[in-house]
Amino acid sequence: MATAAAAIPQRSRGARFQRGLQPYLYLVPAFAVMAVITFYPLVFQVWMSFHDFGQINFRVRNPVPAEFIGLDNYIRIATSKLQIPNFEFVRLVLFNLWWAFSNVVVHIIIGVAVAVILNTQGLRFRGVYRALFILPVVIPQIIVATVWRNMFDPDAGAVNLGLQGLGGIFGIPASNPAFHLNWLRQAEDPISWIPLPLAFFAMITANSWLGWPLNSVVATGALQSIPGELYEAADMDGASPWQKFKNVTVPFLRPAMLPYAIYGFVITFNLFFLPYFMTQGEPFGRTEILVTQAYRLAYERRLFGVAAAFAVYLFFLLLIVTLVTNRLAKATKSYAD
């Protein structure tokens, strides 16, 4: 990489020193700001996590020095011994991982399927479809979450009303209990051998509505890069549509979709809006994820020390997730080559 600086003729020692300093002058504003409002708070958070830190320790008038309690906060979180209802750390982590994984799988399947259909040669109106399908992405997420919460309302939500209308066509009375499901709060699991509440299925529906269009955009880009001759060659060899998809399309999709899938996993893992605004963690905290739980610990319960320790756990979990997914990406990449 030849930098512009190298081309400038050497002048004096002073000028050279100034040039050596210059990169840092460009960085000073950003890093000064980050030092105060990002890095310092992060260090302070680690300090907090080892203390019994509550409201009295930081109030403006006579704050009390916080008591050092070592790893107590961490142990209480890991053993689920917090003074709050419905808190089970292991279940929370497992649900969070499953939430991210299941969403990414659904998003990719729908996204790729729609991209493949839209990429069919000779299809009419594809520009119109592509423009319409991006609509979920342009709506602010807090609105998406609150609107879906209203849609899943047991009495007046569009989902139940729609099901009643659909049932009416087949002569099923609207009073049928199947059309009055309490989607976001029902305590019993809909499928007895799968330990997931009904709210999870409502949430994954809402998030799929939100998530597949971007996957479709990425997949479309990859599909456009496939040379048409490959399909013609496959046609001549008498390949079936499925064989063409498996042996021509998928190898071209993989290098583009894999990094996006990893990115989607991390984003969904930390997706605050749906669990917080749509299900509010119901029923019984079973749709809570780590970020919403951390926020609740601080904002609603005012357990600042515990919340700090929780955020440190979150940091390490994310680090593990990032390292593992990068590892997997590399492994599958060498397999693909």
Shortest reach from residue 188's CB to another protein, in Å? 20
Single-letter amino acid code for the residue at 70: G
Shortest reach from residue 93's CB to another protein, in Å? 15
By C-beta, is 90 or 139 nearer to another protein? 139
User: Which string of DSSP letters, residue by residue, matches 105-167?
Assistant: HHHHHHHHHHHHHHTSTT-TTHHHHHHHHTHHHHS-HHHHHHHHHHHT-TTT-HHHHHHHHHH
Torsion of CA 304, 307, 312, 315, to 10 degrees: -130
By C-beta, is 133 or 201 nearer to another protein? 133
Shortest reach from residue 180's CB to another protein, in Å? 14
E strand residue ranges, 38-81:
51-52, 67-68
By C-beta, is 27 or 233 nearer to another protein? 27
Shortest reach from residue 283's CB to another protein, in Å? 15
By C-beta, is 213 or 285 nearer to another protein? 213
Shortest reach from residue 193's CB to another protein, in Å? 28
Shortest reach from residue 43's CB to another protein, in Å? 8
By C-beta, is 62 or 121 nearer to another protein? 121
Joined tokens for residue 130: 């592509």
Measured N-to-C along each axis, helices 304-336 and 40-49 cross at an angle, to the nearest 10 degrees, of 110
Joined tokens for residue 38: 């990002």
By C-beta, is 187 or 319 nearer to another protein? 319
Distance between CA 199 and CA 194 in Å, rounded?
A: 13
By C-beta, is 91 or 130 nearer to another protein? 130
Pairing of β 67-68 and β 51-52: antiparallel
52 has which bridge partners?
67
E strand residue ranges, the chain:
51-52, 67-68
Distance between CA 152 and CA 128 in Å, rounded?
A: 29
Shortest reach from residue 75's CB to another protein, in Å? 19
Distance between CA 301 and CA 308 in Å, rounded?
A: 13
